Structure 1
């Protein structure tokens, strides 16, 4: 489409402060996976010894790709599709693929937040009774057995109503914009989350048997360090936990003002996220130690130490056993809800930003449009009696295939096709109080992608050979592979549609003193993303 037919973009929104951006980035990174995934992954992969590959992965993948995303977003200043189009016109489908991944995630992530909200109320009177497992799967979810998973229109009211409330709330936040909505939300919710979760942890470590749980969590199994699977799990945890390489951090950094401090900020966000994960491990395993001591068994004999079962079955069992359980439950499930909301809004922003810029919508219209479609999808797929089955399949394929595949393709295109890695490295150092060394380029473009490729190959081989769970084969084909195929097709279609805003008017700032200067003859870009004459 000729840029002459495109509308000039409205002035681009910005974070009001660097601290606002940091809180939003930390809020996005700290999510449900920090609380219910990290403790179990660490426990089953070497305990205290797992922290060694975890720290290595944090530095060589977490910080590296956080800065990679921030350099792309801050330099090219747009939604994911706009940014990849500006890198090269043929790369726009990659941006829409990342938008599609985020859309799939928000449709089920909101449901988990709704569960958490509902369980805050259930904690007060311990509504799950003597059998939290039966309550969660039968009374609350009314779940179909996984072997009988199929499409159903039987909506569960106990899930639908809190889900509607969640979508109304987050849609309102999105309609208020970056500064008025996202930044203000994280300034309130993130400190509240930390205070509530710290209170839960303090209560947990005072429980009888807590020391046993902490010993299980931190006791190192040094032999595990020789197992490649442990290292893959460490990279997987860091990669998914920090919200990198699937549009979130690219979009968030695009709202930073031109004068921003990228390098040190990346370290703050990465280590804040990991610190919260370790805090979560302390709280969870103190609680599990109490539960094991009450039952007179070893922690290794407990079931449900990760994922939804940990949160909605194991923790309710603990709450029923302990003195002051209702308060403990409110703190735990309140923390889950807060962590879920701060991550959910970051995922939605990726989608609304793409729609807003592609179709020339206002912030409010794009928020309403995306919110309605996502809310309807959430309701009719995940608040049904088949909801947890659907969620499990889609989540597995999105995370283990979609996100990792997107990251590998992104790095390959940037590093080897358009050769912009030196440009991004230069941009990071131009906007950092302390320069980032050549090690960043080596890990970003060469070493870490090898680990990601190994992760993807392991996932693909396992899925092809063994399938996933005991779901019917047609079910995983339709909603696992089918979901990825759908967003790939949608990405190509959306890329073929004309832009309603002047995406092609943008040209990145000139880079001086570089061997590879593809835009040396171009113009600089101001804070609104419009080209202005270089002076």
Structure 2
């Protein structure tokens, strides 16, 4: 281990901050690592699928709206708190409030669960990659059969069933195939080893590895695009993607749900690695600009990379108007595209390029999720050896991934993925949005309007989301919307009447009368104050500031949208409750919800993950409108600027012998 550590240090010297934390060797290293976490197999595969199924240029209307309403505000939050508070998700959320440690743990839970099966998908890619060196390609004319029998080697289950009215389970699904698929397990070990190589030495190595893991897939994707659009009839697929208008699709809820889901899952918000990566930044880096660069890079890559798939769509003559659909990312990557590759001239070459691209995209996403968990352990006391922590974690996670390498692994993966994505991930990000704009410095709000008003307003706010979506499913969407807005308006009106008069005047026009001043504190104070406190650090000098509309977007747009999406999970589970693997996935998702709730109720249970000297950061007494940490931030900035100036002079002045 010491030999490996010395080799790593010689390859990439470790830089440290004044607090002793590792630092990125450059801003480009951080951005490429963060973009690598966002850009993955889903950009090249899942995105074209949902665009095809919601065909036409009108797709970009809900897609771009979701980017600005969900992705950018959420990413600004995760990057800014990691950088400002110099800690991983648990430390950063503890700094905001001691009861938010569970939210930080929930983020890590998502990355932990997803990474255990994510590398198995990359192992499937490696199986295809191995067979790509044959001519003709072994799946030619039998892509579906090859995928099921030669790659997955899955044994079909004995399907369970519900009663005719769906009220009871008649029989549960049985999975007779339980053996481990040796090749998948072997390739999975190889992928975990690659992950270990990328992160064992810290961001010093990761910051250089990403030039390769991100640079090569970009080049390969450009090559694939060139080849795809040159295929016969490829223009029809490109026309379907970028030159067809079908405005009637906008009246369907499906396209809006698909756009929100794609943006949400492709950007990687909610996995915790943005906060972990940002904690290794210099404290006064340009966090807002970095967050926007990450989101825009991800969106640009998937929008451009889609041409590689839509060229194949035209070549194969696929048409959504005929009722054809492209299923999830698995079928596109492992059935549809390989089928087209097999028919191309020089098919083995293009197959090697395609699956190698998917490999690097997969690994860059995998080590980002693992690194967030490593950051949690490295932030704890006493300090442990990073190579030892990474090695132990990778070994444990490989063992946990073995059930996905079995003959029923495909179904197990689908069951865990469905409920992690559709329930746990959405709830975690919803929790981020509402807690950062409700719990942060809540005592300031209570001191100005009183506990009864604070509680009443938030009962209306949360009650409107909970009961509104419940009635929307049980009765009708219009009834749910009416109840939701009604509860919120009623809670707001009652809170305004019972609130006490604020001692500190609200800013700008909000302070013109008593009621608008009360409304300001209950509705906007927490999020606005978080923005102000973060801007003291992340907006120093010429850095971009967090905009004034950021916190209202999180609280009153992002959160309600996520609550609606989350609500679809329970009706969906009710239809598949006869499947044991879906039950396991559903239970695992609720473990994440339980972690967040327990963190709020009994925060001391999570103190073990916080260094002793930082445990009280989330319980600091503040005063209304007083910006937290101004003196400390300016002092730290002067120290950092002074150090940078000294380093610059040291580099420019000639050394005396």
TM-score category by the smaller chain? 0.7 to 0.9
Residue 580 (structure 2) aligned to one of 461, 474, 478: 474
Asked if 1 retains the 8 angstrom alpha-carbon contact of 2:90 and 2:610, the reply is: no
Q: How big is the shift at 1:298?
A: 7.6
Q: Pick from 69, 87, 98: which aligns with 1:78?
A: 87
Distance (Å, rounded) in 2 between the aligned partners of 1:244 and 1:375: 24
Give the match for residue 3 of structure 1: none
CA distance in 2, matches of 1:259, 1:336: 35
2:415 paired residue number: 393
Larger Rg: 2
In the alignment, does 2:549 pair up with 1:447? no
Matched, 1:11 2:11: no
The aligned residue for residue 430 of structure 1 is 539
Change in Cα spacing, 1:60 to 1:254, as seen in structure 2 (3 Å) is same
Check 1:523–1:49 CA distance in 2 against 1; reply closer, same or farther (3 A cut).
Answer: closer
Deviation by residue 1:478-519 (Cα, 9 ceiling, x = unmatched): x212212445567759944635734526859x9x99815455
Residue 270 of structure 1 corresponds to which residue in structure 2? 295
Change (3 A) 1:213 1:394: same
- Verify the 8 A CA contact 1:71 1:424 in the aligned structure 2: no
- The higher-RCO structure (CA 8 Å, 6+ apart) is 1
For residues 216-295 of structure 1, what are the structure 2 equivalents within 5 Å? 216-218=240-242, 219-292=244-317
Contact 1:36–1:307 under 8 Å retained in 2: yes
Partner of 1:5: none
Show the counterpart of 1:47.
56
Q: SS where residue 608 of structure 2 aligns? A: coil
2:334 is the alignment partner of 1:319: no
| Residue equivalent to 2:114 | 105
**Unmatched 5+ stretches in structure 2:** 1-17, 160-172, 442-525, 638-657
Give the superposition deviation at 1:304. 3.9
> What is the match of residue 588 of structure 2?
483
Look up the match of 2:566. Answer: 456
Report whether the alignment pairs 1:421 with 2:527.
yes
Tell whether 2:190 aligns with 1:190: no
Q: 1:369 matched to which residue of 2?
A: 392
**How far 1:356 sits from its partner (Å)?**
2.6
Whether the aligned pair in 1 keeps the contact of 2:440 and 2:530 (CA below 8 Å) is: no
Q: Would you say 1:133 and 2:155 are equivalent positions?
A: no
2:329 maps to which of 300, 307, 314: 307
2:201 matches 1:96 = no
Q: Quick check: 1:122 aligned with 2:131? A: yes
The answer to whether the Cα contact below 8 Å between 2:377 and 2:609 also exists between their aligned partners in 1 is no
Check whether the contact 1:207–1:287 (CA below 8 A) recurs between aligned residues. yes
Indicate yes or no: 2:56 matched with 1:68: no
For 1:443 and 1:77, how far apart are their aligned partners in 2?
A: 25
8 Å contact from structure 1 (residues 246, 407) kept in 2: no
Could you tell me which residue of structure 2 aligns to residue 530 of structure 1?
none
Which of 622, 625, 638 in structure 2 is aligned with 1:515? 625
CA distance in 2, matches of 1:208, 1:322: 10
- Equivalents in 2 of 1:282, 1:211: separation in Å? 10
CA deviation string 1:309-332 (max 9, x = no partner)? 111111221111111211211111
Distance 2:324 2:353 in 1: 23
The CA deviation at 1:440 is: 1.7
Report the counterpart of residue 225 of structure 2 in structure 1.
Answer: 201
| Counterpart contact for 1:57–1:235, Cα < 8 Å | yes
Alignment pair present for 1:143 and 2:154: yes
Local SS of the residue matching 2:133: helix
- Give 1:412's match in structure 2, choosing from 398, 419, 434: 434
Residues 303 and 518 of structure 1: is their aligned pair in 2 closer, same or farther, counting only changes over 3 Å?
closer
Paired with 1:54 and 1:514, the residues of 2 have a C-alpha distance of 38
Tell me how far apart the structure 2 counterparts of residues 200 and 54 of structure 1 sit (CA, whole Å). Answer: 24
Structure 1 match to 2:30? 21
Measure how far apart 1:129 and its partner are: 4.2
In the TM superposition, what is the alpha-carbon distance from 1:88 to its structure 2 partner? 1.9
Displacement after TM superposition at 1:341 (Å): 0.6
Larger mean Cα displacement after TM superposition, 274-283 or 205-214? 274-283
Alpha-carbon deviations, 1:440-470, whole Å to 9, x = none? 2221222121111111112333333x237xx
8 A contact 1:13–1:178 mirrored in 2: yes
User: 2:477: which partner in 1?
Assistant: none
Distance 1:473 1:259 in 2: 50
Shift of 1:221: 1.3
TM-score normalised by length of structure 2? 0.72
Task: Provide structure 1 residue ranges, at least 5 long, that are not aligned to the other structure.
Answer: 1-8, 528-535
Aligned to 1:91, what secondary structure does the other structure show?
helix
Deviation at 1:525, TM superposition (A): 8.8
> Are positions 1:176 and 2:185 aligned together?
no
Instruction: Provide the rounded CA distance (Å) in 1 between the counterparts of 2:378 and 2:199.
Output: 12
Shift of 1:279: 1.7
Partner-residue secondary structure (3-state), 1:353: helix
* 1:324-335 equivalences in 2 (<5 Å): 324-335=346-357
SS at 1:246 equivalent: coil
Quick check: 91-100 or 104-113, which moved more?
91-100
Q: Is the 8 A contact 1:205 1:286 kept in 2?
A: yes
Does the C-alpha gap of structure 1 residues 55 and 246 become closer, same or farther in structure 2, counting only changes over 3 Å? same
Corresponding residue number in structure 1 for 2:235: 211
Kept in 1, the 8 Å contact 2:115–2:369? The answer is yes
